[in-house]
Amino acid sequence: MNITLKKVSFSYTDSIYDAVLKDISLQINSGECVVLAGESGSGKTTISKLINGLIPLYHSGTMAGDVLLGDKNTSDITLAEISKYVGSVFQNPRSQFFNVDTDSEIAFGCENLGIKPEEIRRRIEKTVTDFHLESLLGRNIFHLSGGEKQKIACASVDATDPDIFVLDEPSANLDLKTVADLAEIIKIWKSRGKTVVVVEHRLHYLRDVADRIIYVKEGHIECEWTPAELESKGTTYTASLGLRCMNLESLGEPNREDCHSREGGNLPSCSQTSNIVFKDLCFAYNPKFPILEIPTFTLPRGQITALIGHNGAGKSTLAQLVCGLCGSRSQKRAVRKLGTYLIMQDVNHQLFTESVLDEVLLGMSPKDKSAALEILDSLNLKSYAEKHPMALSGGQKQRVAIASGVSSNRDLIVFDEPTSGLDYRQMLAVSATLKTLANRGKTLFVITHDPELVLNCCHHVIHMDHGRIVNEFPLQGNENKLIHSLMCK
Amino acid sequence: MITLDPRTKLFLAIVANSVIISAPLVYSALMFAVPAILLLFEKKWKFVLAFFSLYLAAALGFEHLKTMDVGRVGTLAVSTMMLISHMMPIGIVLYYVMQTTKANEFMAGMSKMHIPNKVTIPLTVMIRFFPTVFDESHAISNAMKMRGIRLFSLQTLKNPFTILEYRLIPLLVSLTKIGDELSVAASTRGLVPETKRTCVVPIGFHVQDAVVFVYCIAVLTCFFITSKSKQSIIDIVSNLFS
């Protein structure tokens, strides 16, 4: 089914003057796989919402122009009808499930379309074999990992067998291994002649599947390449557009001048020798199946250590242990003495007060306003001191959470996926913040799947698998090894 | 495992609620038994055991102490026991319904009773939301622990509302966001009030449903007879056999 956008403009407000999309025309042919890339806020997600009908049928705003699916204009039909033609997968795996168990979730879309139960069962069976989901059937979705949830989301739209698939940053919370599985799923769809539209920052996994990459900037289509064309232009070019790299292997090439001297300050020197040592980090919900068994591990003080490993390897559990959020009483006591702070993946959970300044003062004892302002200044937040934390952008919220950790005088700050779903420029900003913190003498421990972040700011890499540390190495000179560990090869 | 039709579960919940609030304790015990037995079939041994012992302790304590003069503190304890013994059966019925009813079964059951989708869909979303609330709440309490904000400390005792604020604001913000994303996802997948849904899980009445219905109606009838004639249920039963 063809998708045609004819001179579409859209604004979320009443006035067309602050439009997020300006006069966009785009033709996507049946069977094509098109990637919409661009920086955050460029309007690429809005384009995907035009295709799956959420605009104009769910979000209100001002719209001009026509969106045609085949020969049907989306503004003339209902969302229920569009859902027969278009299947959507969203960024956040936590919030796209309507059911608690996986089986019902895969059946959900079909049930809404009123398909007969026998036919639904047949379709589920086919989807499950195609996507190799046998081990995920009959499970509670709340107990699945992010990658598994995203696979179920794909399976659920696949079962309804639409002609068009729209994926809005599907890989944001996934490790590289699951991202590769996602690419396989897209390949299956393409081989069946389906049209696939992917909104994405991470381009590397789409290198072999995508037919076109469309670059959206400030509400209009700036340019268009084939993946090969974009790759041949080199990493510096893609980075200048705010896009993530096309080829992960090329990142691993040693002596890349640019990766250590990029904007945002130099890495602090590696000469310090003192280490923070953790001993006997073990954790199990059930004593027979320990989730974590680490006899000892060390973090070099004042430096940035990356913790890598695929979803479900025990990284988050390790972070929680290190921060005293789980584990035995003696472990917690030891951790409290050390002073650790966790910056959660969803920072909304850890902002409580009415102003940014209060947020920083909350953990301070004694409360020292000038010191608090100084911390805010170092994180470029001084001008927001009186704002409500929830009114800030994602990156700013993250920095407020960091500021509250710094103000409570913790020496070890743990980050859980600080760059998931961020474009290149935002990733660089996070990396600059991390470097600033390390320069202030903080020890940082970063859980991440993001090779570019690690290459940009980390000194050491710890690789975990099945609850154990399988490898530990300094980053310098081992760039290739890092990429391979991330890809789980 | 015994599966009940969602409509039976709804009936059970309604009967349990209406009987328990105004009736003497015997009825709450009678209603407690049904979900407890059903949960045993679901292999929730520990849960049933814990609830049963708490219920038994509260019920016996209340029955034993309700006529005595126990002083001010004692009254507080006795009224807590009363509250537990009367409310617990409602809790366990709801827990059973939540645990065993899938969203699609619930919707299918409701549509068989000709309840419009406009009512059913929000109700289903609500059921779907409970686990999310617990999930989010857990993450927030972790964040608070790390900040050193404890539920009982000098600071929170001085200013008990702050703790409420710290808990609720992040919870509300993230729940609003999840709720919005959830409804977007549901509507792109065709869940709108106008749809006629099908359901992969066959639903319908079986023997077990009949048993539960008969039992509930029997309890209800006893309740009405006793409340009219001011007799106790034990008298009625002994009259029947004499």
pLDDT digits (tens, 9 = 90+) for A41-89: 888 999 999 999 998 888 888 999 999 999 999 989 988 899 999 999 9
DSSP designation for A441: T
Taking residues A448-468, report their average pLDDT: 90
Q: Which residues does chain B have with pLDDT short of 50?
A: none
Name which of A12, A57, A83 to mutate to probe chain B: the one with the most chain B Cβ atoms within 10 A of its Cβ.
Answer: A83
Q: Are residues B28 and B41 in the same domain?
A: yes
Number of domains into which chain B is organized: 2
Domains of chain A (ranges; CATH) run 3-246 (3.40.50.300), 260-486 (3.40.50.300)
Q: Is residue B226 part of a domain?
A: no
Q: Quick count: other Cβ atoms within 10 Å of Cβ B49? A: 12
- Distance from the A408 Cα atom to the nearest Cα atom in chain B, whole angstroms: 8
Question: Is position B84 within any domain?
Answer: yes
Mean pLDDT of A22-26: 92
> What's the rounded Cα separation, in Å, for the pair A53 and A55?
5
The nearest CA of chain B is from the CA of A91 a distance in Å of 10
Q: Is residue B142 part of a domain?
A: yes
What is the β-pairing status of strands A275-283 and A292-300?
Answer: antiparallel
Do residues B42 and B116 both lie within one domain?
no
Contact B102 A408 (CB under 8 A): no
Question: What pTM was computed for the model?
Answer: 0.86
In a domain, B215, yes or no: no
Residues B110, B128 within the same domain: yes
In DSSP notation, A278-308 reads EEEEEE-SBTTB-SEEEEEEEEETTSEEEEE
Give, in degrees to the nearest 5, the angle at Cα A54 between A49 and A57: 140
Higher pLDDT, B2 or A223: A223
With 50 as the cut, is the pLDDT of residue A260 above it? no
Kindly list the strands in the beta sheet with A220-225, ordered across the sheet, starting from the edge strand earlier in the chain.
A86-89, A164-168, A195-199, A33-37, A212-217, A220-225
Report whether A290 contacts A155 (CB < 8 A): no
State how far the Cα of A349 lies from the Cα of A360, in Å rounded to an integer: 15
**pLDDT in the model for residue B230:** 60
Q: Are residues B109 and B195 both part of a single domain?
A: yes
| A108 with B189: Cβ contact below 8 A | yes
Residues of B in contact with A342 (CB under 8 A): 142-143, 146
* Contact across the interface for B104 and A94, Cβ inside 8 Å: no
Burial of B174 (0-12, 13-18, 19+ CB in 10 A): buried
Does residue B233 fall inside a structural domain? no
Residue among B135, B139, B173 whose CB faces A344 most closely:
B139
Q: How far is A427 from chain B (nearest CA, A)?
A: 23
Same domain flag for B109 and B65:
no
- Please state whether beta strands A21-28 and A195-199 pair in parallel, antiparallel, or not at all (unpaired): unpaired
**B67 and B41 co-located in one domain:** yes
Residues B52 and B12 in one domain: yes
Q: What is the pLDDT of residues B16-43, one digit of tens each?
A: 887 776 667 778 788 888 888 888 888 8
**Which of B77, B102, B127 lies at the terminal end of a domain, its last residue?**
B102
**Residue B218 within a domain:** no
For B3, the domain range is 1-102
Length of chain B equals 242
Write the ipTM: 0.82
Quote the strand ranges of A142-261, DSSP E. 164-168, 195-199, 212-217, 220-225
Nearest to A349 among B170, B195, B199 (CB): B170
- Residue A291's contacts (CB-CB under 8 Å, 6 or more residues apart) are A283, A284, A285, A314, A317, A467
Give chain A positions within 8 Å (CB) of B145: 324-325
What is the per-residue pLDDT for A26? 94
Looking at residue B103, its pLDDT comes to 86
Kindly state whether residue B98 falls inside one of the protein's structural domains: yes
Q: How far is B102 from A162, CA to CA, in rounded Å?
A: 25
Say yes or no: B200 contacts chain A, CB-CB below 8 A: yes
